[in-house]
């Protein structure tokens, strides 16, 4: 036969302790509930006191740990992205239209160099300097193209273009014109790195 007092006594002891710990992370609620444990304890059941107190201690500790981990999360800096597995902070992000270009003379009147005189290479992008200043380090994501890195491209804004005005970015591709055209026009997210 089930002893209702023992059954309900265990539940009464467990629930208030959990509620007190989850609502207030302090020692006082636990101390206030401790005398209730002693009052309901039978003299013949000295093991129950130890058994009932053991579950309450881990609950209190885990709640405190959860609270401290929540504080750590809330204190983490804003504007952080993962770039090649490393956290990087960014100043601003833009939704932009992306196109591609090559070093073919019909696309780049300067020859195989950017507007700053550097050789064109993967990671060179053309921007509108009124939107993104030349020399700015960028991280570009959201494109779908087999010749660019999966997950995003770290780039530097070192080139300009006659048709690159406003929220547009032109990504240099070291490919043939035919292959580079397959990139088309894509919506991308451009992060200005600090």
Cβ 128 vs Cβ 138: under 8 Å: no
- What backbone torsions phi and psi does residue 55 show, to the nearest 5 degrees? -65, -30
Give residue-wise pLDDT tens across range 38-47.
444 444 444 4
Cβ 176 vs Cβ 102: under 8 Å: yes
* Residues 160, 183: Cα–Cα separation, whole Å: 19
Gap between the terminal Cα atoms of the chain: 71
Residue 193 has pLDDT above 60, yes or no: yes
Domain spanning 80-193 has what CATH number? 2.40.40.10
What does the pLDDT read at residue 110? 74
Give residue-wise pLDDT tens across range 86-111.
898 999 999 999 999 999 988 887 78
pTM summary value:
0.60
Give residue-wise pLDDT tens across range 119-147.
999 999 999 999 999 999 999 999 999 99
* Residues 14, 65: Cα–Cα separation, whole Å: 20
Give residue-wise pLDDT tens across range 168-191.
999 999 999 999 999 999 999 999
Domains in the chain: boundaries: 4-74, 80-193
Q: How confident is the model at residue 82 (pLDDT cuts 50, 70, 90)?
A: confident
What does the pLDDT read at residue 5? 53
Cβ 152 vs Cβ 144: under 8 Å: no
């Amino acid at each position: 036969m089930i002893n209702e007092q023992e059954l309900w006594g265990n539940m009464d002891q467990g629930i208030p302790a959990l509620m007190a710990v989850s609502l207030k992370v302090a020692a006082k609620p636990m101390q206030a509930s401790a005398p209730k444990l002693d009052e309901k304890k039978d003299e013949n059941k000295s093991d129950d006191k130890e058994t009932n107190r053991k579950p309450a201690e881990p609950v209190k500790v885990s709640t405190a740990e959860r609270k401290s981990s929540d504080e750590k999360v809330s204190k983490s800096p804003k504007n952080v992205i993962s770039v090649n597995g490393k956290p990087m902070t960014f100043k601003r992000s833009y939704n932009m239209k992306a196109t591609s270009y090559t070093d073919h003379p019909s696309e780049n009147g300067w020859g195989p160099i950017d507007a700053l005189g550097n050789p064109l290479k993967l990671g060179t992008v053309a921007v509108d300097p009124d939107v993104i200043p030349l020399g700015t380090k960028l991280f570009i994501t959201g494109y779908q193209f087999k010749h660019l890195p999966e997950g995003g491209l770290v780039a530097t804004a070192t080139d300009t273009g006659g048709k690159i005005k406003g929220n547009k970015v032109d990504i240099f591709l070291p490919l043939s014109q035919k292959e580079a055209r397959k990139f088309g026009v894509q919506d991308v997210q451009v992060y200005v790195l600090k």
